[in-house]
Structure 1
């Protein structure tokens, strides 16, 4: 009798879990892959405050914005271009593109090419840093994803990926610092694991699967991604649906996806695998070692996850509201890094529209 009751209970629980996992997918719209069509949703249908649209657009235009998109349930609720840009403009993601690399590593792991628990020197060429072989062997792929490699962040050029620039400072996993060079090496990790260029693997496994456009371009030691705004919106929509495009899983590992968008280490609660996380009790910022006891973006929903790039490139994904927000353009505030006080200002304006 007990077995029957427990069997019935777990069957019902399984149905409920399955329903909760599919609910979002069932109401989300996905644009076609091979053309520029994208369904829209009116302000009346969203039940948002129409009177707040013009103040929001005036604000973003005054802040150097070139492209701005809000998706609701996957449909375009608001799309605006200005300051010399239009829908065809190719714009940089800067560090917001780190999220693309994190997603690609998840695909490579799911396909059996790598494990994020492995030492990264399994996939990088010998002597990729100035560390000893023993020191290198303690740095895992996960440390690169979580900004905890322990590489020296006091070097003159934190973007430099030459071995002479990559020296030891802390034990891997013991200290969080936003070190761009450690991130940039994730491209080489993927390439070494899959035995083809990072770009070609990314294009095949992610970009082309969801109808994105764009390419990675060399900029000094870094290689940012450039695309139109709708391509960023497509990637946001993919992550809103937990790595599934319409009915097609792009990232077939729910466990990795969950880890990617949750706290990845115990030094910066607001950082996952190259994603920024809101709603945590504290955060650290690029270029600083200080911890701030506050939410990353106090005005934004707690479940927001974000790709944040230099000059205020913003990709916000908010499951509780079923929205994606894209902002691309020139820097809005006097800041060089990803998170900025513009985030909080922008969400003050957005809340007036969507609340």
Structure 2
């Protein structure tokens, strides 16, 4: 079935060679994707002011598109997607013995790096900087001077998206490693995974990473393969890797160590501070973890499906992590599948699944009495249930989004539809 092919569990991962423009591809036909839908998707990306877009499946390029004057050699700023890269660098530094994330930040920056009383400042650890739980007031969002870093709550008791404490991780890393951040990044990461571009620049008071889209994709591929590049470990500390992409605290379960996590019960947006029910990207695979930056810079990784989405560009949104655009893009990716048979297409148009949303039952309205089979999948592509009854009973299912694929007696796919169970 097209749906099963399109989001099947990942196979062995391909790694592109270093110092080469060679990168194996995978045709959209292998995934059962429709050329017309892909063209419409590219038009959508263009409308959203996208500069570059790459989609990998098991390491191979399925989609790669550059817009306007942009090329595969063009550099673009990661904005806050660089936070996730920084998290990896901190993990490497800890593995080398340069630092310990559970120690006080003042052990690396010195006392008085905030305007807090000493006993409150000493509560803040490097881990709090990684998890956005420093307790510092985020109103002076970008400022890193002590006078701007004022008390709001004890460290670890409040989650707030705050650039200042994050940005000071650069100073923590450089103090602990005794290396400039660009030197550290090159020696510990870029050389090992074949990144030919990539540089940290200072835009006072903050610093940002720039690279090509393909080097962004290399970073995503490293994360997808658990920090091992083509058999060579870049970070051996599996506990740290798992902590990066797991809920780091209960306040915002959709946040790890500077990574956004999908599939959680609730999330706090960068605009915060209120918790919002549901996952950050309900239309994306549930296991996705994302490096997200302002105006929609994404390194979005799903290990279960083998998909990695890279996007660089501009956006009209003022969302500091681009999460709204992230879900809209994934919604379109998950709808790229098509049915090539004309007769099947006609059947598809005449079949209806209702009600949607539903509280328990979904009815399959088909114009004749031909036998059908309905398969219900979760967003990770796992088959949850089969039904030969045109009235599908979803009793016992958790609330959320599912996909129903309907086949006829010849096993031809005649309908795919997302349904919402309330």
Task: Provide the TM-score with structure 1 as the length reference.
Answer: 0.89
Give the match's secondary structure for 1:224.
Answer: strand
Match of 1:62 among 14, 38, 47: 47
Task: State whether residues 216 and 226 of structure 1, in contact with CA within 8 Å, keep that contact through their aligned partners in structure 2.
Answer: yes
After alignment, is 286-295 or 227-236 more displaced? 286-295
Q: Quick check: 1:45 aligned with 2:45?
A: no
Shift of 1:78: 0.9
Q: Which residue of 2 aligns with 1:10?
A: none
SS at match of 1:280: coil
Higher strand share: 2
Distance in 2 between residues matched to 1:150 and 1:341, nearest whole Å: 26
Query: 210, 215, 222: which is aligned to 2:206?
Result: 222
- In structure 2, how many angstroms separate the alpha carbons of the residues matched to 1:323 and 1:334? 25
Report the Cα offset of residue 133 of structure 1: 2.3
Match 2:178 to one of 195, 217, 233: 195
- 2:293 maps to 309
Cα deviation, residue 31, structure 1: 0.7
Structure 1 residue 88 corresponds to structure 2 residue 87: no
* Structure showing greater relative contact order (alpha-carbon pairs closer than 8 Å, 6 or more residues apart): 1
The answer on whether the counterparts of 2:181 and 2:200 sit within 8 Å (CA) in structure 1 is: no
The alignment status of 1:320 with 2:291, answered yes or no, reads no
User: How many Å separate the matches in 2 of 1:183 and 1:199?
Assistant: 17
Residues 64, 83 of structure 1: 8 Å contact kept: no
Report the alpha carbon displacement of residue 197 of structure 1 after superposing the two structures with TM: 1.6
Match of 1:206 among 158, 173, 189: 189
Correspondent of 2:259 among 275, 289, 294: 275
Judge conservation of contact 2:292–2:323 (CA < 8 Å) in 1. no
Unmatched tracts of structure 1, length 5 or more: 1-22
2:74 maps to 1:72: no
Is 2:99 the counterpart of 1:114? yes
With structure 2 as the length reference, what TM-score do the two structures score? 0.76
**In 2, are the aligned partners of 1:65 and 1:83 still within 8 Å (CA)?**
no
Q: How many correspondences in the alignment? A: 329
Pairing 1:125–2:100 present: no
RMSD: 1.5
The equivalent of 1:174 in structure 2 is 157
Task: Kindly state the Cα deviation for residue 335 of structure 1 after the two structures are TM-superposed.
Answer: 2.1
**Structure 2 gaps, min length 5:** 1-8, 338-380, 382-422
Structure 1 position 192, deviation (Å): 1.2
Report the Cα offset of residue 218 of structure 1. Answer: 1.2
Cα distance, 1:125 vs structure 2: 3.1
1:183 aligned to 2:166?
Answer: yes
Q: How far off is 1:185 after superposition? A: 0.9
8 Å contact from structure 1 (residues 49, 352) kept in 2: no
Q: Any conservation in 2 of the 1:278–1:305 contact (CA below 8 Å)?
A: yes
Q: How far off is 1:86 after superposition?
A: 1.2
Is residue 2:148 matched to residue 1:165?
A: yes
> What displacement does 1:339 show?
3.4
Match of 1:256 in 2: 240
Task: Point out the structure with max Rg over C-alpha.
Answer: 2
Whether 2:327 is the aligned partner of 1:352: answer no
Could you tell me how far apart the structure 2 residues matched to 1:117 and 1:125 are?
A: 16
Distance 1:47 1:27 in 2: 19
Kept in 2: contact 1:113–1:194 (CA 8 A): yes
- In structure 1, the partner of 2:127 is 142
Secondary structure of 1:311's partner?
A: coil
Secondary structure class of the residue paired with 2:29:
helix
Corresponding residue SS for 1:45 = helix
How far apart in 1 are the matches of 2:223 and 2:173?
Answer: 20
1:337 positional shift:
1.2
> Do the aligned partners of residues 32 and 174 (structure 1) sit closer, same or farther apart at CA in structure 2, a change above 3 Å counting?
same
Provide the rounded CA distance (Å) in 2 between the counterparts of 1:135 and 1:183: 18
C-alpha contact (below 8 Å) 2:280/2:323 kept by paired residues: no
Q: CA deviation at 1:252?
A: 0.9
- Structure 2 distance, partners of 1:65, 1:99, is 21
